[in-house]
Amino acid sequence: GESVGLHLPTLSVQEGDNSIINCAYSNSASDYFIWYKQESGKGPQFIIDIRSNMDKRQGQRVTVLLNKTVKHLSLQIAATQPGDSAVYFCAVGDTGRRALTFGSGTRLQVQP
């Protein structure tokens, strides 16, 4: 079955630095990839998504990179702010299926 993993459980960065959070997935047939942010006591909040026909997508201060060759996904946050402190999950989906498969999460800590 699908498995999704993250490289680091905790990432600590200085305010203003760029952050990179990584994710690996195992199913080469996966074609939809999402990053969610989860703050304490809240549900996952959509950040950005990308489909398998793309390798890069940019949003406001965030960029998602997809490398299908090595089945790797990353989230880049520019000029990280204290409000970015949260747990970040990657999630993977397949066309025709409703289920999202979530990774185990990376905690981002932003030091002032």
How many residues belong to the chain?
112
Distance from the first to the final alpha carbon of the chain: 41
* Using rule CB under 8 A, residue 42 touches other proteins: yes
In the complex, what is the shortest distance from the CB of residue 32 to other proteins, in angstroms, rounded to a whole number?
5
Q: Which stretch binds other proteins (CB under 8 A): 10-18, 38-46, 67-75, 76-84?
A: 38-46
Query: Of 11, 21, 23, 34, which lies in the binding site for other proteins, with binding defined by CB under 8 A?
Result: 34
CA proximity to 48, closest of 31, 39, 35: 35
For residues 81-110, which are near other proteins according to CB under 8 A? 89, 91, 93, 95, 97-105
In the complex with other proteins, the residue whose CB is nearer, 11 or 105, is 105
The answer to whether 6 and 22 are in contact (CB under 8 A) is yes
Angle, CA 10 vertex, CA 112 and CA 94 arms, to 5°: 120
Verify binding: residue 31, other proteins, rule CB under 8 A: yes
Closest by CA position to 35, among listed 10, 7, 66: 66
Asked if residues 38 and 105 have their Cβ atoms less than 8 Å apart, the reply is: yes
Minimum gap (Å) between residue 110 Cβ and other proteins: 22
Site of interaction with other proteins (CB under 8 A)? 4, 31-32, 34, 36, 41-46, 49, 51, 89, 91, 93, 95, 97-105
